Chains A and B, each alone.
Chain A
Amino acid sequence: MAHQAHSYHMVDPSPWPIFGAAAALLTTSGLIMWFHYSSMYLLTLGLLSMLLVMLQWWRDVVREGTFQGHHTPTVQKGLRYGMILFITSEAFFFLGFFWAFFHSSLAPTPELGGLWPPTGIKPLNPLEVPLLNTAILLASGVTVTWAHHSITEGNRKQAIHALTLTILLGFYFTALQAMEYHEASFSIADGVYGSTFFVATGFHGLHVIIGSSFLTVCLLRLIKFHFTSNHHFGFEAAAWYWHFVDVIWLFLYMTIYWWGS
Protein backbone atom coordinates (compact mmCIF):
# COMPACT_ATOMS: atom_id res chain seq x y z
CA MET A 1 0.00 0.00 0.00
CA ALA A 2 1.29 3.46 -0.90
CA HIS A 3 2.24 5.68 1.99
CA GLN A 4 -0.50 8.09 3.01
CA ALA A 5 0.75 11.53 4.09
CA HIS A 6 -2.54 12.82 5.56
CA SER A 7 -4.88 11.70 8.32
CA TYR A 8 -8.15 11.56 6.36
CA HIS A 9 -9.99 8.33 5.61
CA MET A 10 -10.10 7.43 1.91
CA VAL A 11 -12.97 4.93 1.87
CA ASP A 12 -13.08 1.81 -0.31
CA PRO A 13 -15.79 1.69 -3.00
CA SER A 14 -18.89 0.38 -1.24
CA PRO A 15 -22.14 -1.21 -2.46
CA TRP A 16 -24.16 -0.20 0.62
CA PRO A 17 -25.37 3.28 -0.45
CA ILE A 18 -27.03 2.02 -3.64
CA PHE A 19 -28.34 -1.17 -1.98
CA GLY A 20 -29.65 0.94 0.91
CA ALA A 21 -31.47 3.20 -1.54
CA ALA A 22 -33.01 0.15 -3.24
CA ALA A 23 -34.07 -1.22 0.16
CA ALA A 24 -35.78 2.12 0.91
CA LEU A 25 -37.67 1.90 -2.42
CA LEU A 26 -38.78 -1.67 -1.61
CA THR A 27 -39.90 -0.72 1.91
CA THR A 28 -41.94 2.33 0.86
CA SER A 29 -43.46 0.57 -2.16
CA GLY A 30 -44.06 -2.42 0.10
CA LEU A 31 -46.10 -0.21 2.43
CA ILE A 32 -48.22 0.91 -0.57
CA MET A 33 -48.81 -2.70 -1.63
CA TRP A 34 -49.72 -3.59 1.93
CA PHE A 35 -52.17 -0.68 2.35
CA HIS A 36 -53.83 -1.14 -1.06
CA TYR A 37 -53.69 -4.89 -1.68
CA SER A 38 -53.03 -6.34 1.84
CA SER A 39 -49.94 -8.05 0.43
CA MET A 40 -46.94 -8.05 2.79
CA TYR A 41 -44.62 -9.61 0.20
CA LEU A 42 -42.73 -6.51 -0.94
CA LEU A 43 -42.68 -4.96 2.55
CA THR A 44 -41.04 -8.08 4.03
CA LEU A 45 -38.50 -8.07 1.19
CA GLY A 46 -37.78 -4.37 1.79
CA LEU A 47 -37.35 -4.71 5.55
CA LEU A 48 -35.16 -7.80 5.16
CA SER A 49 -32.83 -6.13 2.64
CA MET A 50 -32.77 -2.95 4.77
CA LEU A 51 -31.71 -5.03 7.79
CA LEU A 52 -28.97 -6.77 5.77
CA VAL A 53 -27.61 -3.46 4.44
CA MET A 54 -27.59 -1.87 7.92
CA LEU A 55 -25.79 -4.85 9.48
CA GLN A 56 -23.12 -5.01 6.80
CA TRP A 57 -22.61 -1.24 6.53
CA TRP A 58 -22.09 -0.77 10.27
CA ARG A 59 -19.95 -3.94 10.37
CA ASP A 60 -17.69 -2.29 7.77
CA VAL A 61 -17.47 0.92 9.83
CA VAL A 62 -16.28 -1.20 12.79
CA ARG A 63 -13.76 -2.94 10.51
CA GLU A 64 -12.43 0.39 9.21
CA GLY A 65 -12.15 1.91 12.67
CA THR A 66 -11.04 -0.93 14.91
CA PHE A 67 -9.22 -3.28 12.52
CA GLN A 68 -7.81 -0.95 9.85
CA GLY A 69 -7.06 2.11 12.00
CA HIS A 70 -8.77 4.60 9.68
CA HIS A 71 -10.44 6.49 12.54
CA THR A 72 -7.61 8.95 13.17
CA PRO A 73 -8.23 11.97 15.44
CA THR A 74 -9.22 13.96 12.33
CA VAL A 75 -11.75 11.31 11.28
CA GLN A 76 -13.08 11.02 14.84
CA LYS A 77 -13.70 14.76 14.81
CA GLY A 78 -15.92 14.31 11.76
CA LEU A 79 -17.78 11.45 13.46
CA ARG A 80 -18.33 13.67 16.52
CA TYR A 81 -19.77 16.51 14.42
CA GLY A 82 -21.97 14.01 12.59
CA MET A 83 -23.40 12.58 15.80
CA ILE A 84 -23.94 16.07 17.29
CA LEU A 85 -25.84 17.17 14.16
CA PHE A 86 -27.89 13.96 14.13
CA ILE A 87 -28.93 14.39 17.77
CA THR A 88 -29.74 18.06 17.14
CA SER A 89 -32.03 17.07 14.25
CA GLU A 90 -33.72 14.55 16.54
CA ALA A 91 -34.24 17.26 19.17
CA PHE A 92 -36.09 19.37 16.58
CA PHE A 93 -38.14 16.33 15.54
CA PHE A 94 -39.40 16.07 19.13
CA LEU A 95 -39.89 19.85 19.33
CA GLY A 96 -42.59 19.41 16.67
CA PHE A 97 -44.55 16.98 18.86
CA PHE A 98 -44.24 19.24 21.90
CA TRP A 99 -45.48 22.10 19.74
CA ALA A 100 -48.56 20.09 18.73
CA PHE A 101 -49.20 19.20 22.38
CA PHE A 102 -48.96 22.79 23.66
CA HIS A 103 -50.94 24.11 20.68
CA SER A 104 -53.82 21.81 21.67
CA SER A 105 -53.54 22.00 25.46
CA LEU A 106 -52.78 25.67 26.24
CA ALA A 107 -56.02 26.90 24.67
CA PRO A 108 -58.37 23.87 24.50
CA THR A 109 -61.10 24.25 21.89
CA PRO A 110 -64.84 24.12 22.76
CA GLU A 111 -64.96 20.65 21.12
CA LEU A 112 -62.69 19.39 23.91
CA GLY A 113 -64.95 20.94 26.55
CA GLY A 114 -62.67 23.95 26.84
CA LEU A 115 -60.43 22.09 29.29
CA TRP A 116 -57.33 19.90 29.41
CA PRO A 117 -57.29 16.93 29.74
CA PRO A 118 -60.35 16.96 27.45
CA THR A 119 -63.78 15.89 28.71
CA GLY A 120 -64.03 12.13 29.01
CA ILE A 121 -60.25 11.50 29.08
CA LYS A 122 -58.89 9.82 32.21
CA PRO A 123 -55.12 10.40 32.04
CA LEU A 124 -52.52 8.09 33.58
CA ASN A 125 -51.47 8.93 37.13
CA PRO A 126 -48.03 10.57 36.80
CA LEU A 127 -47.00 9.46 40.30
CA GLU A 128 -47.35 5.75 39.54
CA VAL A 129 -45.54 3.91 36.69
CA PRO A 130 -44.37 7.11 34.90
CA LEU A 131 -42.50 8.21 38.03
CA LEU A 132 -40.89 4.77 38.27
CA ASN A 133 -39.90 5.09 34.61
CA THR A 134 -38.29 8.46 35.35
CA ALA A 135 -36.26 6.86 38.14
CA ILE A 136 -35.26 3.97 35.84
CA LEU A 137 -33.99 6.29 33.09
CA LEU A 138 -32.12 8.50 35.57
CA ALA A 139 -30.51 5.38 37.08
CA SER A 140 -29.53 4.17 33.62
CA GLY A 141 -27.85 7.55 33.04
CA VAL A 142 -25.77 6.87 36.16
CA THR A 143 -24.81 3.33 35.09
CA VAL A 144 -23.82 4.43 31.56
CA THR A 145 -21.50 7.05 33.12
CA TRP A 146 -20.09 4.36 35.40
CA ALA A 147 -19.42 2.22 32.29
CA HIS A 148 -17.70 5.17 30.57
CA HIS A 149 -15.40 5.83 33.54
CA SER A 150 -14.57 2.11 33.71
CA ILE A 151 -13.61 2.14 30.01
CA THR A 152 -11.36 5.20 30.38
CA GLU A 153 -9.69 3.55 33.37
CA GLY A 154 -9.18 0.33 31.41
CA ASN A 155 -11.41 -1.67 33.76
CA ARG A 156 -13.12 -3.88 31.18
CA LYS A 157 -14.86 -6.22 33.62
CA GLN A 158 -16.60 -3.43 35.53
CA ALA A 159 -17.46 -1.66 32.26
CA ILE A 160 -19.20 -4.84 31.05
CA HIS A 161 -21.16 -5.06 34.30
CA ALA A 162 -22.21 -1.40 34.24
CA LEU A 163 -23.19 -1.47 30.56
CA THR A 164 -25.20 -4.68 31.05
CA LEU A 165 -27.05 -2.98 33.89
CA THR A 166 -27.77 0.05 31.65
CA ILE A 167 -29.22 -2.17 28.92
CA LEU A 168 -31.35 -4.12 31.42
CA LEU A 169 -32.74 -0.83 32.78
CA GLY A 170 -33.50 0.22 29.20
CA PHE A 171 -35.46 -2.97 28.52
CA TYR A 172 -37.26 -2.64 31.88
CA PHE A 173 -38.38 0.85 30.83
CA THR A 174 -39.65 -0.48 27.48
CA ALA A 175 -41.54 -3.32 29.21
CA LEU A 176 -43.20 -0.91 31.66
CA GLN A 177 -44.19 1.46 28.84
CA ALA A 178 -45.73 -1.46 26.90
CA MET A 179 -47.71 -2.36 30.03
CA GLU A 180 -48.87 1.26 30.45
CA TYR A 181 -50.04 1.40 26.82
CA HIS A 182 -51.96 -1.83 27.34
CA GLU A 183 -53.64 -0.53 30.51
CA ALA A 184 -54.42 2.99 29.23
CA SER A 185 -58.14 3.88 29.14
CA PHE A 186 -57.69 6.01 25.96
CA SER A 187 -56.30 5.19 22.51
CA ILE A 188 -54.43 7.03 19.74
CA ALA A 189 -57.85 7.57 18.10
CA ASP A 190 -59.32 9.38 21.17
CA GLY A 191 -59.05 12.93 19.84
CA VAL A 192 -56.08 15.24 20.11
CA TYR A 193 -55.19 14.06 23.62
CA GLY A 194 -54.71 10.45 22.49
CA SER A 195 -52.92 11.52 19.30
CA THR A 196 -50.39 13.85 20.94
CA PHE A 197 -49.87 11.46 23.88
CA PHE A 198 -49.23 8.31 21.86
CA VAL A 199 -47.25 9.95 19.04
CA ALA A 200 -44.89 11.79 21.44
CA THR A 201 -44.42 8.93 23.94
CA GLY A 202 -44.46 6.33 21.14
CA PHE A 203 -41.62 7.99 19.22
CA HIS A 204 -39.75 8.33 22.50
CA GLY A 205 -40.25 4.60 23.12
CA LEU A 206 -38.95 3.87 19.61
CA HIS A 207 -35.84 5.92 20.44
CA VAL A 208 -35.36 4.01 23.69
CA ILE A 209 -35.42 0.76 21.68
CA ILE A 210 -32.89 2.20 19.18
CA GLY A 211 -30.69 3.42 22.07
CA SER A 212 -30.87 0.02 23.78
CA SER A 213 -29.80 -1.68 20.52
CA PHE A 214 -26.91 0.80 20.11
CA LEU A 215 -25.78 0.09 23.69
CA THR A 216 -26.12 -3.67 23.09
CA VAL A 217 -23.79 -3.41 20.07
CA CYS A 218 -21.37 -1.48 22.31
CA LEU A 219 -21.57 -4.24 24.94
CA LEU A 220 -20.70 -6.89 22.35
CA ARG A 221 -17.78 -4.77 21.10
CA LEU A 222 -16.63 -4.19 24.68
CA ILE A 223 -16.61 -7.96 25.30
CA LYS A 224 -14.63 -8.40 22.06
CA PHE A 225 -11.93 -5.91 23.23
CA HIS A 226 -12.78 -3.27 20.59
CA PHE A 227 -12.58 -0.32 23.00
CA THR A 228 -9.39 1.11 24.44
CA SER A 229 -9.15 3.61 27.27
CA ASN A 230 -8.67 6.57 24.91
CA HIS A 231 -10.40 5.45 21.72
CA HIS A 232 -14.03 4.34 22.09
CA PHE A 233 -16.10 6.82 20.13
CA GLY A 234 -18.77 4.20 19.29
CA PHE A 235 -19.51 3.92 22.98
CA GLU A 236 -19.45 7.69 23.49
CA ALA A 237 -21.93 8.21 20.65
CA ALA A 238 -24.25 5.61 22.20
CA ALA A 239 -23.93 7.31 25.60
CA TRP A 240 -24.73 10.74 24.08
CA TYR A 241 -27.77 9.24 22.38
CA TRP A 242 -28.87 7.58 25.62
CA HIS A 243 -28.59 10.84 27.57
CA PHE A 244 -30.59 12.58 24.83
CA VAL A 245 -33.39 9.99 25.13
CA ASP A 246 -33.25 10.46 28.91
CA VAL A 247 -33.64 14.26 28.66
CA ILE A 248 -36.55 13.93 26.20
CA TRP A 249 -38.29 11.67 28.72
CA LEU A 250 -37.86 14.27 31.48
CA PHE A 251 -39.60 16.83 29.24
CA LEU A 252 -42.35 14.34 28.36
CA TYR A 253 -42.84 13.52 32.03
CA MET A 254 -42.96 17.15 33.14
CA THR A 255 -45.29 18.38 30.39
CA ILE A 256 -47.50 15.59 29.04
CA TYR A 257 -47.70 13.26 32.06
CA TRP A 258 -47.58 15.72 34.97
CA TRP A 259 -48.71 19.21 33.85
CA GLY A 260 -51.02 17.69 31.21
CA SER A 261 -52.96 15.65 33.78
Chain B
Amino acid sequence: MSLRALARYGVARSRLGVLLRQASQSGAGGPLGARVPAAATMYYKFNGFTQRLVGAAASAAYNPQGLKPIVSTESPALIFGTTTKLASDLPAAGSFLGKNKVPDLQKLFQKADGLPVHLKRGVPDKLLYRTTMALTIGGTIYCLVALYMASQPRNQK
Protein backbone atom coordinates (compact mmCIF):
# COMPACT_ATOMS: atom_id res chain seq x y z
CA MET B 1 0.00 0.00 0.00
CA SER B 2 1.42 3.38 -0.96
CA LEU B 3 1.93 6.17 1.58
CA ARG B 4 -0.68 8.21 -0.25
CA ALA B 5 -3.17 5.40 0.22
CA LEU B 6 -2.28 5.27 3.91
CA ALA B 7 -2.90 8.99 4.17
CA ARG B 8 -6.26 8.49 2.44
CA TYR B 9 -7.30 6.21 5.25
CA GLY B 10 -6.35 8.92 7.69
CA VAL B 11 -3.19 7.39 9.08
CA ALA B 12 -1.70 9.79 11.58
CA ARG B 13 1.43 11.65 10.62
CA SER B 14 3.27 10.16 13.58
CA ARG B 15 2.81 6.70 12.06
CA LEU B 16 3.61 7.98 8.61
CA GLY B 17 6.67 9.60 10.12
CA VAL B 18 7.81 6.24 11.52
CA LEU B 19 7.34 4.62 8.13
CA LEU B 20 9.18 7.43 6.41
CA ARG B 21 12.05 7.30 8.84
CA GLN B 22 12.30 3.53 8.36
CA ALA B 23 12.33 4.12 4.62
CA SER B 24 15.05 6.72 4.91
CA GLN B 25 17.16 4.47 7.14
CA SER B 26 16.88 1.46 4.87
CA GLY B 27 17.40 3.43 1.67
CA ALA B 28 19.67 6.32 0.88
CA GLY B 29 17.39 8.71 2.74
CA GLY B 30 14.63 10.07 0.50
CA PRO B 31 13.74 13.75 0.28
CA LEU B 32 10.50 13.06 2.14
CA GLY B 33 12.16 11.47 5.13
CA ALA B 34 14.40 14.45 5.65
CA ARG B 35 11.42 16.72 6.23
CA VAL B 36 9.92 14.71 9.11
CA PRO B 37 10.85 16.25 12.46
CA ALA B 38 12.20 13.94 15.16
CA ALA B 39 9.26 14.40 17.51
CA ALA B 40 6.25 14.27 15.16
CA THR B 41 3.26 15.57 17.09
CA MET B 42 1.17 16.93 14.25
CA TYR B 43 -1.67 15.00 12.67
CA TYR B 44 -3.05 15.08 9.17
CA LYS B 45 -6.12 13.88 7.35
CA PHE B 46 -6.93 13.54 3.68
CA ASN B 47 -9.10 16.34 2.31
CA GLY B 48 -11.48 14.89 -0.28
CA PHE B 49 -11.95 18.17 -2.16
CA THR B 50 -8.38 19.43 -2.49
CA GLN B 51 -6.88 15.91 -2.68
CA ARG B 52 -4.20 17.00 -0.22
CA LEU B 53 -3.26 16.32 3.35
CA VAL B 54 -4.47 18.98 5.73
CA GLY B 55 -3.89 19.48 9.43
CA ALA B 56 -6.29 17.68 11.74
CA ALA B 57 -6.88 16.77 15.34
CA ALA B 58 -5.49 13.43 16.49
CA SER B 59 -8.99 12.00 16.79
CA ALA B 60 -9.84 12.88 13.17
CA ALA B 61 -6.56 11.41 11.93
CA TYR B 62 -7.07 8.08 13.69
CA ASN B 63 -10.80 7.86 12.94
CA PRO B 64 -11.59 9.85 9.80
CA GLN B 65 -15.17 8.59 9.76
CA GLY B 66 -15.75 9.46 13.39
CA LEU B 67 -17.69 6.22 13.72
CA LYS B 68 -15.92 4.63 16.63
CA PRO B 69 -15.84 6.23 20.05
CA ILE B 70 -12.18 6.93 20.70
CA VAL B 71 -9.96 7.36 23.66
CA SER B 72 -9.03 11.02 23.69
CA THR B 73 -5.42 11.63 22.69
CA GLU B 74 -5.60 15.30 23.57
CA SER B 75 -4.76 16.62 27.01
CA PRO B 76 -7.87 17.56 29.00
CA ALA B 77 -8.67 21.21 29.65
CA LEU B 78 -6.94 22.64 32.68
CA ILE B 79 -9.09 23.06 35.75
CA PHE B 80 -8.45 26.13 37.84
CA GLY B 81 -10.00 25.65 41.25
CA THR B 82 -12.67 23.15 42.19
CA THR B 83 -16.39 23.42 41.70
CA THR B 84 -19.15 21.62 43.50
CA LYS B 85 -21.29 19.50 41.19
CA LEU B 86 -25.00 19.32 41.90
CA ALA B 87 -26.73 15.98 41.63
CA SER B 88 -29.02 17.39 38.92
CA ASP B 89 -25.97 18.32 36.79
CA LEU B 90 -24.75 14.74 36.60
CA PRO B 91 -25.64 12.87 33.41
CA ALA B 92 -28.77 10.79 33.80
CA ALA B 93 -28.45 7.00 33.81
CA GLY B 94 -30.35 6.54 30.52
CA SER B 95 -29.53 8.76 27.54
CA PHE B 96 -32.04 11.15 25.94
CA LEU B 97 -34.64 9.32 23.78
CA GLY B 98 -33.33 5.77 23.70
CA LYS B 99 -29.86 4.29 23.74
CA ASN B 100 -27.24 3.86 21.05
CA LYS B 101 -27.74 0.61 19.15
CA VAL B 102 -25.44 1.56 16.26
CA PRO B 103 -22.43 -0.55 17.43
CA ASP B 104 -24.64 -3.69 17.63
CA LEU B 105 -26.13 -2.96 14.21
CA GLN B 106 -22.65 -2.42 12.78
CA LYS B 107 -21.69 -5.89 14.04
CA LEU B 108 -24.86 -7.38 12.52
CA PHE B 109 -24.46 -5.71 9.12
CA GLN B 110 -20.72 -6.44 8.88
CA LYS B 111 -21.14 -10.17 9.55
CA ALA B 112 -19.44 -12.17 6.78
CA ASP B 113 -22.49 -14.28 5.86
CA GLY B 114 -22.37 -13.57 2.14
CA LEU B 115 -25.84 -11.96 2.11
CA PRO B 116 -26.39 -8.78 0.05
CA VAL B 117 -27.21 -5.64 2.03
CA HIS B 118 -30.95 -5.72 1.24
CA LEU B 119 -31.35 -9.17 2.87
CA LYS B 120 -28.84 -8.80 5.69
CA ARG B 121 -31.44 -8.55 8.45
CA GLY B 122 -33.10 -11.90 7.73
CA VAL B 123 -36.84 -12.69 7.67
CA PRO B 124 -38.30 -9.11 7.78
CA ASP B 125 -36.03 -8.09 4.89
CA LYS B 126 -36.96 -11.18 2.90
CA LEU B 127 -40.71 -10.56 3.44
CA LEU B 128 -40.48 -6.93 2.30
CA TYR B 129 -38.31 -7.85 -0.69
CA ARG B 130 -40.62 -10.66 -1.81
CA THR B 131 -43.72 -8.46 -1.41
CA THR B 132 -42.12 -5.76 -3.56
CA MET B 133 -41.03 -8.33 -6.15
CA ALA B 134 -44.51 -9.89 -6.32
CA LEU B 135 -46.16 -6.45 -6.70
CA THR B 136 -43.80 -5.22 -9.42
CA ILE B 137 -43.64 -8.43 -11.48
CA GLY B 138 -47.36 -9.17 -11.10
CA GLY B 139 -48.15 -5.52 -11.79
CA THR B 140 -46.02 -5.49 -14.94
CA ILE B 141 -47.88 -8.52 -16.37
CA TYR B 142 -51.25 -6.96 -15.47
CA CYS B 143 -50.09 -3.65 -16.94
CA LEU B 144 -49.05 -5.22 -20.27
CA VAL B 145 -52.42 -7.02 -20.55
CA ALA B 146 -54.30 -3.80 -19.72
CA LEU B 147 -52.29 -1.80 -22.28
CA TYR B 148 -52.88 -4.50 -24.93
CA MET B 149 -56.64 -4.42 -24.30
CA ALA B 150 -56.68 -0.62 -24.36
CA SER B 151 -54.94 -0.67 -27.74
CA GLN B 152 -57.78 -2.70 -29.38
CA PRO B 153 -60.46 -0.86 -31.39
CA ARG B 154 -63.47 0.03 -29.24
CA ASN B 155 -66.34 -1.12 -31.56
CA GLN B 156 -65.91 -4.22 -33.68
CA LYS B 157 -68.87 -4.99 -35.93
Contact = CB atoms under 8 A, between A and B. Distances in A.
Interface of A: 1, 5-7, 12-16, 19, 22-23, 25-26, 29-30, 32-33, 36-37, 42, 45-46, 48-49, 52-53, 56, 60, 63-64, 66-69, 71-74, 76-77, 156-157, 160, 223-226, 228-231
B60 A73 contact: no
A223 B97 contact: yes
B118 A68 contact: no
How many of chain B's residues touch chain A, expressed as a range? 35 or more
A45 B139 contact: yes
Nearest to A50: B136
Contacts of B48: 73-74, 76-77
Nearest to A66: B102
B127 to A, nearest CB: 11
Contacts of A64: 117
A229 B143 CA distance: 48
Name A's interface SS. helix
Contacts, number: 125
A15 B150 contact: no
A237 to B, nearest CB: 15
A33 B143 CA distance: 9
A226 B102 CA distance: 7
A73 B112 contact: no
A227 to B, nearest CB: 9
Nearest to B121: A63
A33 B139 contact: no
Given A12-B116, A49-B136, A225 B102 contact: yes
A52 to B, nearest CB: 4
B118 A53 contact: no
